[in-house]
Structure 1
Amino acid sequence: MYEAVTQDIKVSVEPIYLEDQSSPENGHYVWAYSVKIENNGQNQVQLINRHWKITDAMGRSQEVRGAGVVGEQPVLDPGESYEYTSGTPLQTPSGFMHGAYEMETPAGDMLEVKIPAFSLDSPYEPRQVH
């Protein structure tokens, strides 16, 4: 589990390699990632936009920007949480992702909430112990 906290908003991510959707012989590796966003602050917030940077083992990066997550722009009152699952494919057996959510308070204040960097590892990536 990977976690980051920005101004009392906690983001936790757990990536899972999807063997049944991957095709290593064709250079196609797929992960799901489950995200939990917790509002531990005093103000309501709404997730407006997302920004992801996805990097594969060859150093190739792509950026994904858009409104909300999985078609929603959830509103979180103090003490509430929101969970969703999404996914990403790569052409290499490993990589990593990180990003940020743009959130807005009822007063119109915007805040950038960090999504922790997390590793995408498949069983096809040799591990080295240092």
Structure 2
Amino acid sequence: MVEQVTKGIKISVISRFEGTLINKQRECYTFSYTITIENQSENTVQLLTRYWKIKDALNPPETVKGEGVIGVKPVLPPGKKHTYSSGCLLTSPIGSMEGYYTLIDLDAKTRFRVPVPVFKLHAAFALN
């Protein structure tokens, strides 16, 4: 697990190798990750957008941008958490992800970014 706190927002990430599958006639490695966003600040915040940089050992990095996470823009009062799971496909058994969330402090009406720390995507058999 990796964790990081920025501006009172704690991000925790757990990633897992799920197996392989054939996609467009080539083997892909599937990974899942579970992220918990915890508001440790004194103000209510809402997650607005996400940005990901996905690194695959065999390809150039890919970026993904979008609104919310898994179709929602969670509102987090002080002390509350939001947990969600998602996944990605890589052509290599080794990679990583990192990025950030854009949130708004609903009390102060200010936007800010919270980095998501780098987390590894790797299949155990690929590591010595």
How would you bin the TM-score normalised by the shorter chain?
over 0.9
- Find the residue that maps to 1:27 and give its secondary structure: strand
User: Which residue number in structure 1 is paired with residue 119 of structure 2?
Assistant: 118
Gaps of 5+ in 1: none
- Calculate the TM-score normalised by the size of structure 2: 0.92
The answer to whether the 8 A contact 2:58-2:91 is kept is no
Structure ranking higher in strand proportion: 2
Task: Give the drift of 1:125.
Answer: 1.2
Structure 2 CA distance, aligned partners of 1:89 and 1:124?
17
User: Which residue number in structure 1 is paired with residue 60 of structure 2?
Assistant: 60
Aligned-residue identity in percent: 38
Structure 2 CA distance, aligned partners of 1:79 and 1:32?
26
Structure 1 CA distance, aligned partners of 2:104 and 2:4?
18
Give the letter for the 1:48 counterpart: L
CA RMSD of aligned residues (A): 1.5
- Find the residue that maps to 2:43 and give its secondary structure: coil
- Calculate the TM-score normalised by the size of structure 1: 0.91
User: Which residue number in structure 2 is paired with residue 92 of structure 1?
Assistant: 92
Structure 2 CA distance, aligned partners of 1:104 and 1:56?
31
Structure 2 CA distance, aligned partners of 1:82 and 1:23?
30
Gaps of 5+ in 2: none
